[in-house]
Each structure stands twice: as structure tokens, then as C-alpha cells.
Structure 1
Amino acid sequence: MLRAKPHLRYRTLFISDVHLGTRTSQAQALLEFLRTHDADTIYLVGDIIDFWRVRRGAHWPQSHNDVLQKLLKRVRKGARLCFIPGNHDEGIRHFAGMHFGGIEIHKQTVHETATGKRYVVMHGDELDIVVRTAKWLAILGDHGYEFALWLNNPLNWIRRHLGFGFWSLSAYLKNRVKHAVSFIGAYEDAVAAEARKLDADGVICGHIHHAADRHIADIHYLNCGDWVESCTAVVERFDGSFQLIRWSADVAIEPAHELAVSVSDAVPSQQISG
């Protein structure tokens, strides 16, 4: 029997690349994650709703609506919600600088940690040369990625019947194809350079569906990953340190969450964050 999942609270939560409106969005997994993880401030770091595919015919089950309702409920309860649109929901960038029902919209912003460090928060497509200069090629690549994700289902149906565990073809291709690996490295270097240019200590981004927590020279690079394959998020604890969480249905959290607090035991956020 699985133990009850703890309800944890953080100073800040960062989520990106949910791609609501698509069949490959792991909205139900995100909903379960949000039920057990809370934060004073939530950043939605782009590609939350996939308008590219919505235009071709939306897939919108109840779980997709529930995710939005859960986030709006957090706002009603006093959480700060910052939305930084990505390339798949880029139309919302026209509203940058505005507030809607307690939701802040920014093209990019700077997050200050509990210890005063500055992190640029951006989706990251601005530094993807394919998206910037050849959107048709980006859309073609998106179709290919979508097809690889679709192939995961029949392949894993066969693997289950043969007694094997889950295996992601799309993740394998992304991590093994030479050009994809070099693209990820170039992207990470470009994002780190942008943070350096803005005199920041680090950067928190999304876009490439490749979760990471590492240093690139003097810049702390954090990528939220996605809720299509990896189901990952970045959290800031109340002491200003960060953690990359990999969510699964069976394991609520990775170890070493001692600096998060139980919601029932948390003091008011303004007292914690100073």
C-alpha cells in the first residue's frame, strides 16, 4: 500500500510546457502534483496552453480544465501567479505588463530568491534560432515530436505485455540524436549568456522539454522540463535553495524536502519570506 502523499509548501513553484489542449499533455499528473505541492508564488513559464494544436482541433478533457481551475483557486487563496507565455501561447504576449484577475503577464521577468539572488525567468524560445527565423521548420519539428510521442503508446503496450517497464522513444531520440544534443547545449549556453547580460545569478526557463539543474560557468541554469513526458517542476525552498522535482504517480516527491513545510504547519507567507 502506498503511503499518503505529504502536502508540501514552498516559497516558489515553476512549471512550464504543459501543452493543455493536446492528447500528450499529462494534465492529470500535473493535477495530482498541484494537490500535494503549494507555493506562495507560482510561475507558469510558457506553453501552458498549446494554441498551435488547438487551432487544428483541441483535445480538452475535464483534467485540462481542472488544472486551470486549480491554478485560479490558488490565486483566489492569495498566491501570486506570474504567466510568461511561450511560443505555443505567444498570442498572450500582447498582454504583457497587464494583470487579469490577479494573474500577472510578463514577456520575461526577474525573480529574487529568499537570499536576494536574481534569476531571469523566461520561456526561452526567444533564443531558439529555429523559432525566431523559420517558424515553419519549428512547426514541422513539432509534428515530428508529436508523432514520436504518439508512438510511445503502442510501443509501451507491447513492452507491458512482454513484462518490460515504460520506455520513451521520444526522449531516447532527443537524448541520442547528435543534432538534438548539440541544439540543447547551444540553447543552454545562449540562455545562460542572456542571464549574464542581465547581470543575474541564474536563469529559469523551459521550451526544450529537457529538465536540468546545473551551473554553466557562473550562471545557475534551471530548466523546468515539461508535463508531456518527464513531468518535472522546479521549486524554491524557503531558504532560497532550488530543487528539481520529478513527479510520478507512485512516488510523490524525491528525497531531501526537509526545507519545505507542511501546509498545515506553515506560518503566513509574509513571515517566512521576510
Structure 2
Amino acid sequence: MMTNASPDAFRRYRTIFISDTHLGTRGARADFLADFLSRVSCDHLYLVGDIVDGWRLRRSWYWDGMHDEVLRLILRHARGGTAVTYIPGNHDEMLRDWLPLGLEVAGIRLAREAVHETADGRRLLVMHGDEFDSVVRYYPFLALLGDAGYTAALVVNRWFNAARRRLGYPYWSFSAWAKQRVKEAVKAIDRFEVALAGEAARRGLDGVVCGHIHHAEMRDIGGTLYLNDGDWVESCTALVEHPDGTLALVDWAAENRFSFFDAPARRGATPSGAEPVREPA
């Protein structure tokens, strides 16, 4: 389900899962993500892969102040007592080389995957999910070509929506629409979801949390819960767990009625009467 809380309310969650922020690309909505991170607190924060886009940064460097702000806010949560777990994906796979060392950097623990137990006792496998994408796993060259095509689609999407805006129409994601309408893409998404749910079931777990395909979803597949937290490029979504264990998807851009052309007005990080993210003494 999607949450419908007031966009101005400071939100307290038990757990937050985010992925596919693709920092280091022009398509990353670091401004929306920074706004989200400044308005929430949680006990557990899972970064479920593709947080930094190493593929793009190796080809050309792009990094602005808002990207720095996202990292600062993540570190702020970690310093404030939030258990932060970073599970690298295929775009930030360079961090996977460090996994055998069991590193924890500035309070952020690196892990290949994790098992999260919700407040109501459900056990969820947490992984990026690229391991179950046959193109990425067996044909990495094709994956790179696909990444280039996806980037081109985002450029077209930006110009297309600039024209829509001048005509008075709201934002509409061409790339997301195309991905959902192409028959083979829909089949691939379904296969991906079934494969991930099957892996969780094979391990005797109640569900799986993943990212990778930029498609936020909550569904039951043969008695196993499939949860995809979406992305912060085409959309601005996160999976959250409430204190009682209830799971929900948050669509930050839609709830706050942000335009994809304008940065959100930076509201105060802690409104009056709200519990702040605690900084160390």
C-alpha cells in the first residue's frame, strides 16, 4: 500500500529501505532524496544497492552539492543511532570487493545481503537483485548497452516533459511508461519477481526486499511477500516499516506534489515538536 501521511509531518519509521538512487548521474533526484532523508527517522536504514553509479562515474564525472547532501544525511542518521546497512548492487559493484573484509565505515555496515526481522516477526531477505537478472549476470556487455539506452530514454523523457510543462501538462514518465508497456519487459519483470520470491521461499523466509528494476511493488507470490522499494530516478519511492511491522511504499514526489523540474523547497530538517535525528555529543 502507499502511505498518505501529511507531507509536512516529520515521520518516524522502524525501518526504511531505499535503492537505485544512482548518485553520480544527472538523472538522480538527489534533491528529492535529501528532502526525504531530512524529514524521517528510523531504527534501521537499508541501502539496497546502486546508491552510487560507478558505471557512469568511470565514464564521466558528475557530482553536485545535493549529492554531497544525501551522503551527509545518511551519515547523520548513522551517527544518530540508526543501524545503516549498505548492500552494493551492480552499479556500485566496486564495493563488493570489500565485503570479505566485513567493513563498517562511519557506522555504515557493508553486506552482500541481509535478513531483516519485522516488528511482527516476519523474516525478509534483503538483496539488490541483480543476481537474478540474467542479462546483468551472464551478458554484462548487453547490460552496459541497456544502460546507455536507458540513459538516452531519460534524456528524451526530460525534453518531452519540458514541452509538456510549457503546455501546462503535469509530469509524465515516458521511460517508465515504455518499460511497463513493452511486452517482453513486462515478462522480464514478472520473471524477476518470481525468481526473487522463490529464493526467499527456498531459504524458509517470509519475503524478499530488493531493488534493481526501478519498479516499486508489493505483491504476494505463492505465499511469499515480494517487496521492491523502487528508485530515485524515474520515481521517488521507498519501502518503510511502521513500528507495528506494517510495510508500505512511500511515493515522496507524488505525496509532496513535487514537479520533476523544480527542486523541492528545503524545509527545516526538524519541525517544532518533532523528534530530531540525534547527533553525537
Tell me the TM-score normalised to structure 1 length. Answer: 0.90
Residue in 1 that maps onto 2:47: 44
Q: Which consecutive residues of structure 1, in runs of 5 or more, have no partner in the other structure?
A: 254-261, 269-274
Residue in 2 that maps onto 1:13: 16
Deviation at 1:265, TM superposition (A): 6.4
Residue in 2 that maps onto 1:59: 62
Which of residues 168, 173, 180 is equivalent to 1:168?
173
| Distance change in 2, residues 1:46/1:4 (3 Å) | closer
Which of residues 117, 120, 128 is equivalent to 2:122?
117
Residue in 1 that maps onto 2:143: 138
Counterpart contact for 1:33–1:252, Cα < 8 Å: no
| Distance change in 2, residues 1:177/1:37 (3 Å) | same
Aligned pair 1:239/2:244, yes or no?
yes
Q: Matched residue pairs, number?
A: 259
| Distance change in 2, residues 1:242/1:4 (3 Å) | closer
Deviation at 1:163, TM superposition (A): 2.1
Q: Which consecutive residues of structure 2, in runs of 5 or more, have no partner in the other structure?
A: 1-5, 259-270
Give 1:212's aligned amino acid. Answer: E
- Could you tell me how far apart the structure 2 residues matched to 1:178 and 1:207 are? 19
Query: Residue 19 of structure 1 aligns to a residue in which SS?
Result: coil
After superposition, the CA RMSD in angstroms is 2.2
Residue in 2 that maps onto 1:90: 93
Deviation at 1:252, TM superposition (A): 7.6
Shifted more, 150-159 versus 237-246: the winner is 150-159
Query: Identity, % of aligned pairs?
Result: 49
| Distance change in 2, residues 1:264/1:113 (3 Å) | farther
- Could you tell me how far apart the structure 1 residues matched to 2:254 and 2:180 are? 24
| Distance change in 2, residues 1:249/1:171 (3 Å) | closer
Deviation at 1:77, TM superposition (A): 1.0
| Distance change in 2, residues 1:158/1:184 (3 Å) | same
- What stretches of structure 1 move > 3 A for 4+ residues in a row? 262-266
Instruction: Give the 5 Å matches for 1:74-223.
Output: 74-96=77-99, 97-223=102-228
